Amino acid sequence: MTGMGKWLVTGAGGMLAQDVVARLAEEGESCVALDRRALDLTDAGAVTRALAEHRPAVVVNCAAWTAVDDAETREAEALRINGDGPAHLAAACRELGTVLLHISTDYVFSGDAEKPYAEDAPTGPRSAYGRTKLAGEQAVLTTLPDRGFVVRTAWLYGAGGGNFVRTMIKLEAVKDTLDVVDDQRGQPTWTVDLADRLVRLGRAALAGTAPAGVYHGTSSGETTWFGFTREIFRLLGADPERVRPTTSAAFARPAPRPAYSVLGHSRWQQAGIEPIRDWSEGLSSAMPALVAELQEGNP
């Protein structure tokens, strides 16, 4: 089912976007990749012109302000990218009948639940970043009730950007022991696994077999940052006992981290798409490429 129309990926210089573009190429889909220099989402006129020029069937919005802590003191700037940007895109998509897949985050939730958040669970962001991302979600869902897809992800890592796994691989090489927080639960998610689901979801949307609305694009299963790090060490052939549990109180940061970021995946069934595999399987597939990338000397 290839060739149902062109795809356009925004924020194409980013970590997730690079794997979305690669996945589309592997799948034989025609794709225009626009990084921030080619398309600044805060420029409404530029967004309209880019869509009119390329007339994509599907837009995947990977552009975002992702500096979670900086957003606390620069919320207005973050809102222009995370809230107004998707609003401009959604308006342009509405004019052209384009499907919009918009990437969002677990930070739209308060993080104090005790069971996985359903796609329609009440939101309640505790951080500026979360508030700006929620504004983007609302713009997409309101403007595109039939063609807007919000895909929330979390704990993302991939070869194309700085991330937790890369940091831990580097630290394993230089530290005897590592203290890692054991009181935040989530679902580590490989960008390649998410990219695959985004391609399938876009195709299903074009085929009319996926209902518009919210999906949760995270791995199955759950762990803590501590459990995640132990598994990284194990896959590196290092002793997991070198990783020791600590609490979030030891790592105070400007923006509060959700304690519980486990997302439910039941909506995928309505689209006929399997949720992403268990986080540990994704990690074990991802590790060789992540290690090789560091050995090649990428920063």
Ligand X SMILES: NC(=O)c1ccc[n+]([C@@H]2O[C@H](COP(=O)([O-])OP(=O)(O)OC[C@H]3O[C@@H](n4cnc5c(N)ncnc54)[C@H](OP(=O)(O)O)[C@@H]3O)[C@@H](O)[C@H]2O)c1
Instruction: Provide the minimum distance between the beta carbon of 268 and ligand X in the complex, in angstroms, as a whole number.
Output: 17
74 is an interface residue for ligand X by CB under 6 A: no
How many other C-beta atoms can be found within 10 angstroms of the C-beta atom of residue 75? 18
Instruction: Provide the minimum distance between the beta carbon of 89 and ligand X in the complex, in angstroms, as a whole number.
Output: 10
How far does the chain reach from its first CA to its final CA, in angstroms?
Answer: 38
* Nearest to ligand X of 133, 267 (CB atom): 133
Instruction: Provide the minimum distance between the beta carbon of 239 and ligand X in the complex, in angstroms, as a whole number.
Output: 27
How many other C-beta atoms can be found within 10 angstroms of the C-beta atom of residue 15? 18
Select from 4, 5, 6, 13 the one that contacts ligand X (CB under 6 A): 13
Instruction: Provide the minimum distance between the beta carbon of 88 and ligand X in the complex, in angstroms, as a whole number.
Output: 10
Select from 8, 16, 50, 198 the one that contacts ligand X (CB under 6 A): 16
Instruction: Provide the minimum distance between the beta carbon of 238 and ligand X in the complex, in angstroms, as a whole number.
Output: 23
Give residues 154-193 in contact with ligand X (rule: CB under 6 A).
Answer: 154-156, 161
Q: Which of 129, 157, 215, 260 is catalytic?
A: 129
Query: CB within 8 A of 263, min separation 6: which ones?
Result: 106, 116, 117, 152, 154, 187, 216, 218
Select from 21, 66, 268, 290 the one that contacts ligand X (CB under 6 A): 66
Q: Length of the chain, please?
A: 299
Instruction: Provide the minimum distance between the beta carbon of 1 and ligand X in the complex, in angstroms, as a whole number.
Output: 25
Select from 105, 110, 143, 219 the one that contacts ligand X (CB under 6 A): 105
153 is an interface residue for ligand X by CB under 6 A: yes
Select from 9, 14, 29, 111 the one that contacts ligand X (CB under 6 A): 14
275 is an interface residue for ligand X by CB under 6 A: no
Query: CB within 8 A of 172, min separation 6: which ones?
Result: 178, 232, 233, 236, 238, 242
15 is an interface residue for ligand X by CB under 6 A: yes
* Nearest to ligand X of 201, 241 (CB atom): 201
Listed ranges 63-71, 91-99, 173-181, 245-253: which one lies at the site for ligand X (CB under 6 A): 63-71
* Nearest to ligand X of 36, 242 (CB atom): 36
CA atoms within 13 A on the CB side of 286: 28
Q: For residue 138, give the amino acid letter.
A: Q
62 is an interface residue for ligand X by CB under 6 A: yes
How many other C-beta atoms can be found within 10 angstroms of the C-beta atom of residue 110? 18
Q: Which two three-digit tokens encode residue 1?
A: 């089912």
Query: CB within 8 A of 230, min separation 6: which ones?
Result: 240, 243
d(CA 191, CA 268): 18
Catalytic residue list contains 107? no
- Assign 3-class secondary structure to 167-217: HHHHHHHHCCCEEEECCCEECCEEHHHHHHHHHHHHHHHHHCCCCCEEEEC
Which residues are tagged catalytic?
129
Contact residues: ligand X, CB under 6 A = 10-11, 13-17, 36, 40-42, 62-66, 81, 85, 103, 105, 133, 153-156, 161
